[in-house]
């Protein structure tokens, strides 16, 4: 485990505590090492940390993007390129629950985010007419899950072969939050009449809540390049992880109606222009933050280019620790697992990584406070 603690953003200083043997593997090296994490002695109140060995939950997955767990413990997995939704069995094997129709494949598009609400599975995917969110009734139970006839929740969202956003999640208020990338058109992120470069907030049926920042608009926040991680702490604070361009990736605290500056600002320095600075930033080569989960007041972030799992204490989100740097290759998403464990998902088969044996994987590690 390598620990990195960022000082206040104004000073831009970084304090790095490096433990021996935890440097990142070169880009062309297969991620075959298995690590066992140890708990640091300086955990903040409410902060949790991975501890003990990392074990396989599932292997042999093809470009997995999102994983959600139902109330009965069933795990559902989206495969970006095939468009398949898989059910994960207790023994680690999988069965295909269904395939999402009408997906336009290519680049970063395809079958992306999943979210659960009551008895429905919400799906974000790239179609011929743009990105869309659909709602599928779930049928059956553990071991026999199926998908019913879909209903469209949102359609015609900006899409491209890159910068599609794609993360969806239900907040503590019961509303559906949807991240939409700038779809390669930077200026759209600052256009209030465009849904590109935004985080949207809608009701479960896709209508606009009456308490959104602008009447009749689904836009919750703007000025985003490509958000792929969403999560809420126990006090309701909303966090989002965002891909930068050439300089800085970001962790942001999201406030309704706020503008996070893209493309006018990348990273910090926009407050005097009315933009909101990130609470933490990383060089793009060290991060590419994708999926995010908040577990017991710790924000966990899966990083692609950085090939590392980061943890950020909610008590001080300007600091972070690094786990398993270079051990497993590109990491796409992270989520709370069963019995005080953390699951994280590799993404070495998406065309940009170097797959190891049996990649891609869902991995599990215990959490300790």
pLDDT of 294-341, one tens digit each?
999 999 999 999 999 999 999 999 999 999 999 999 999 999 999 999
Provide the CB-side half-sphere exposure for 160 (13 A, CA): 15
Reading the block at residue 1, the tokens are 């485990």
Straight-line distance from the first to the last Cα atom of the chain, in angstroms, rounded to the nearest whole number = 16
The whole-angstrom distance between residue 100's C-alpha and the CA centroid of its chain comes to 20
* CA atoms of 162 and 141, how far apart (whole Å): 35
Distances (CA, A) of 304 to 65, 72, 313, 329: 12, 30, 21, 8
List phi, psi (to 5°) of 172: -65, -15
* CA atoms of 352 and 369, how far apart (whole Å): 35
For position 33, what pLDDT does the model report?
44
Closest CA to 47 of 299, 334, 289, 293: 299
pLDDT of 251-287, one tens digit each?
999 999 999 999 999 999 999 999 999 999 999 999 9
| Parallel/antiparallel/unpaired status of strands 362-368 and 341-346 | antiparallel
pLDDT of 68-107, one tens digit each?
999 988 999 999 999 999 999 989 999 999 999 999 988 9
The whole-angstrom distance between residue 305's C-alpha and the CA centroid of its chain comes to 14
The contacts of residue 212 (CB under 8 Å, 6+ apart) are 201, 218, 219, 220, 256
* CA atoms of 175 and 292, how far apart (whole Å): 18
* CA atoms of 275 and 160, how far apart (whole Å): 26
Place of tokens 């359609």: 155
Residues in the chain, overall count: 369
Tell me the whole-structure pTM to 2 decimals. 0.90
What is the gyration radius of the CA atoms in the chain, in angstroms?
19
């Amino acid at each position: 485990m390598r620990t990195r603690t960022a000082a206040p953003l104004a000073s831009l200083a970084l304090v790095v505590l490096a433990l021996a043997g935890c440097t990142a593997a070169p880009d062309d090296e297969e991620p075959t090492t298995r690590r066992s994490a140890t708990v640091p002695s300086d955990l903040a109140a409410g902060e949790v940390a991975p501890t003990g060995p990392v074990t396989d939950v599932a292997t042999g997955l093809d470009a997995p993007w999102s994983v959600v767990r139902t109330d009965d413990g069933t795990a559902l997995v989206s495969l970006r390129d095939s468009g398949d939704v898989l059910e994960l069995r207790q023994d680690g094997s999988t069965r295909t629950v269904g395939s999402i129709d009408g997906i336009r494949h290519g680049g970063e598009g395809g079958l992306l985010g999943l979210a659960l609400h009551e008895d429905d599975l919400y799906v974000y995917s790239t179609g011929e007419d743009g990105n869309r969110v659909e709602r599928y009734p779930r049928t059956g139970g553990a071991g026999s899950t199926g998908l019913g006839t879909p209903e469209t929740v949102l359609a015609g969202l900006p899409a491209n072969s890159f910068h599609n956003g794609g993360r969806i999640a239900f907040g503590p208020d019961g509303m559906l939050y949807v991240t939409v990338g700038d779809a390669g058109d930077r200026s759209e992120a600052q256009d209030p009449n465009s849904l590109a470069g935004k985080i949207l907030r809608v009701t479960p049926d896709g209508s606009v809540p009456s308490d959104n920042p602008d009447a009749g608009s689904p836009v919750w926040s703007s000025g985003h390049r490509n958000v792929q991680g969403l999560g809420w702490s126990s006090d309701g604070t909303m966090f989002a992880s965002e891909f930068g361009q050439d300089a800085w990736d970001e962790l942001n605290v999201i406030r309704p109606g706020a503008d996070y500056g893209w493309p006018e600002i990348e990273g910090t320095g926009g407050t005097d222009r009315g933009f909101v600075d990130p609470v933490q930033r990383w060089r793009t080569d060290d991060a590419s933050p994708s999926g995010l989960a908040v577990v017991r007041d710790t924000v966990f972030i899966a990083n692609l280019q950085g090939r590392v799992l980061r943890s950020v204490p909610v008590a001080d989100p300007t600091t972070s620790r690094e786990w398993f740097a270079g051990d497993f290759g590109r990491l796409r998403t992270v989520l709370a697992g069963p019995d005080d464990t953390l699951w994280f998902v590799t993404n070495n088969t998406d065309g940009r990584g170097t797959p190891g044996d049996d990649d891609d994987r869902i991995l599990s590690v215990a959490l300790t406070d």
